[in-house]
Amino acid sequence: MCKAGFAGDDAPRAVFPSIVGRPRHHGIMIGMGQ
């Protein structure tokens, strides 16, 4: 799991396990987190 502290929103962002197989979406989620 890649739970990086997103301004305390790492709980809802904890859906990474489903996205681990998609590096592209992972990058997009990081962009949204910021």
Per-residue pLDDT of 9-22, as tens digits, reads 555 555 555 555 55
Contact 18, 2 (CB under 8 A): no
What's the confidence (pLDDT) of residue 22? 54
- 19 close to 29: Cβ distance less than 8 angstroms: yes
Confidence tier at 4 by pLDDT (50, 70, 90): low
pTM for the predicted model, two decimal places: 0.16
Going by pLDDT thresholds of 50, 70 and 90, the confidence category of residue 5 is low
Whole-number Å distance between alpha carbons of 8 and 4 = 9
